[in-house]
Copies of this chain bind each other. A is one copy, B any other.
């Protein structure tokens, strides 16, 4: 059987979802449509402002999310998923489905050491 080199392109998708918080950020924005900075910070327990900003900037640069600044005091910034970002949904759904399906197995492995 011949292996098609194309198959190695899987790396591309992985590099985009690679950041520790990126999948969750994308998921939240997919579901909420729009969230402010502090909403995301609350939704992601334990994330530092530096990490949140860097992850958001990277996703924005990939054009997966968009950033809208309201020029007012106090500042207001809204993040939302783009149409392009939405194309990642099948991947996230597949990962989510798998994780839910196999949580029991993982729990058993942890229990037995």
Which residues on A are within 8 Å of B, measured CB to CB? Answer: 1, 3, 6-14, 17, 23-24, 27-28, 31-32, 43, 84, 87-88, 90-103, 105-106
Contact A106 B1 (CB under 8 A): no
Number of copies of this chain in the oligomer?
Answer: 2
* In the complex, chain B residues whose CB is within 8 Å of the CB of A23: 10-11, 14
Q: List 8 other contacts, CB 8 Å, given A1-B31, A8-B24, A12-B98.
A: A6-B96, A7-B24, A8-B27, A9-B103, A10-B27, A87-B98, A87-B101, A90-B94
What are 27 A-B residue pairs whose CB atoms fall within 8 Å in the complex?
Answer: A3-B32, A6-B96, A7-B27, A7-B96, A8-B27, A9-B99, A9-B100, A10-B23, A10-B24, A10-B27, A10-B92, A10-B96, A11-B99, A12-B99, A12-B102, A13-B94, A13-B95, A13-B98, A13-B99, A14-B23, A84-B105, A88-B98, A90-B94, A90-B98, A91-B95, A93-B94, A94-B94
